[in-house]
Amino acid sequence: MSLVDVSIIIVHTFEQRLVRQTLRSLRRAAPQLSYEVIIVDNRPFTGMHEILKSEFPEARYTAMPSNRGFGSAMNAGIKLASGKYILIFNPDIVVGVGSLEALFAYMEANPAVGIVGPRLNNPDGSLQHSCYRYHELLIPAYRRTPLGRLPFAKRAINNFLMVDANHDATQEVDWLMGSALFTRRTALDQAGPFDDRFFMYFEDTDLCRRFWQAGFKVIYHPAVSMVHYHRRASSDGSLLRQLLAPLTREHIKSALRYFLKYRGQSNPRYGQPGISSVSSTIIS
C-alpha cells in the first residue's frame, strides 16, 4: 500500500448536505499534499454512496453493517487509510486554503506531537471552544441543567472550557474536540484507535488521554483555523426534553463509562517529560 501524506476520514450518519459542503471546501482548498478522502457510512440506505459516485468520485466509500457509533465507524476508516497522518474529521467543517498543509508542516516539525487540532470558529467568526481540561464529575450535569447557572458551577464550566486560556496561542491541552484531529499514524497505532464502547461522546476525550498516556503530546494550534457548523444536539430544548432525548442518554452512558474507566487515575499530561502540573503549556 503506497503512503499518502494525509488520510481524511469522515463519518456520515445524518448530514448529507454538510458532507457535500465539506467535500466542496476540500476541492476549493486544493491541498498541495497527497491525500485521500474516506467516507464511512453509518446509514448506507440513505443514498450517500450514489451522491459520492455522482459528485465526488475521488472519495473512497465504505459502509457499516449497522450504526455502531462514531468511534466504531471511524476505526473502520482508519483500517482502510494509507496516510502518514490521519485527519479525524467531522462532516460539518469548512477547510480553508493552506489549512492542511500548515497542520502537516507543524507535525513534521514536532515529532513529539501525536495530535494537533486547529482553532475552530463558528460561522459568524467567533471562537468555538474546542480545547478543554478534563471533566470534573459533575460537568455534564452542570452543562445540561439549571445547576449550571450557579456561581460555583459556572466557575467549573469555565475551567473545563479553558475560558482563562489564551486561545490565540499554540499550547498543550488535555484534550481536543474530535471534530478535527490531525493525528500521527505511528502514534495512533501505539495509543490505539477509538474505544468503540463509546457509541457517541467522550470518545475524543478518551483518545486524547490515551495519546498522553502513550507519551505523545496533544496540541491546540490556532495559527490554523477552520469553520465548524456545530450545534450541541443533546442540549436542545427544555430540561425534560433533554433528559428524554436519546442523545442525552448516550451522553450519560458515555460519561459513566469514561469516569469508571479512569477512576482514581491522575492527569497523564503531568507525567510527561518537561511538563509541569499547570493548566496549559504555551508553545513559543
pLDDT in tens, 217-252: 999 999 999 999 976 544 444 444 555 566 778 888
Cα distance between residue 166 and residue 9, in whole Å = 29
The model's pLDDT over 50-61, given as tens digits with 9 standing for 90+, comes to 999 999 999 999
Cα dihedral 22, 52, 188, 68, rounded to 10, equals 100
C-alpha cell of 43?
A: 446509514
Is residue 276 over pLDDT 80?
no
Q: Burial level of 191, CB count in 10 A (0-12/13-18/19+)? A: buried
Is residue 279 over pLDDT 80?
no
Whole-number pLDDT of residue 248: 78
CB 33 within 8 A of CB 107: no
CATH no. for residue 92? 3.90.550.10
C-alpha cell of 153?
A: 458551577
Please report, in angstroms and rounded to a whole number, the separation of the first and last CA atoms in the chain: 37
Q: Which domain holds residue 164?
A: 4-282
Report how far Cα 170 is from the mean position of its chain's Cα atoms: 17
Cα distance between residue 202 and residue 220, in whole Å = 18
Question: What does the pLDDT average to over 120-126?
Answer: 95
Element (H, E) at 152: helix 151-160
- More confident of the two residues 128 and 245: 128
Whole-number pLDDT of residue 244: 57
Whole-number pLDDT of residue 218: 98
Question: What does the pLDDT average to over 146-167?
Answer: 93
Whole-number pLDDT of residue 272: 61
Whole-number pLDDT of residue 281: 74
| pLDDT grade for 273, boundaries at 50, 70 and 90 | low
| Structural domains of the chain, count | 1
Whole-number pLDDT of residue 235: 47
- Percentage above 70 pLDDT, the chain: 90
| pLDDT grade for 76, boundaries at 50, 70 and 90 | very high
Is residue 189 over pLDDT 60?
yes
The model's pLDDT over 28-47, given as tens digits with 9 standing for 90+, comes to 999 999 999 999 999 999 99
- Per-residue burial over 69-86, b if 16 or more Cβ lie within 10 Å, else e, is bbbbbbbbbbeebebbbb
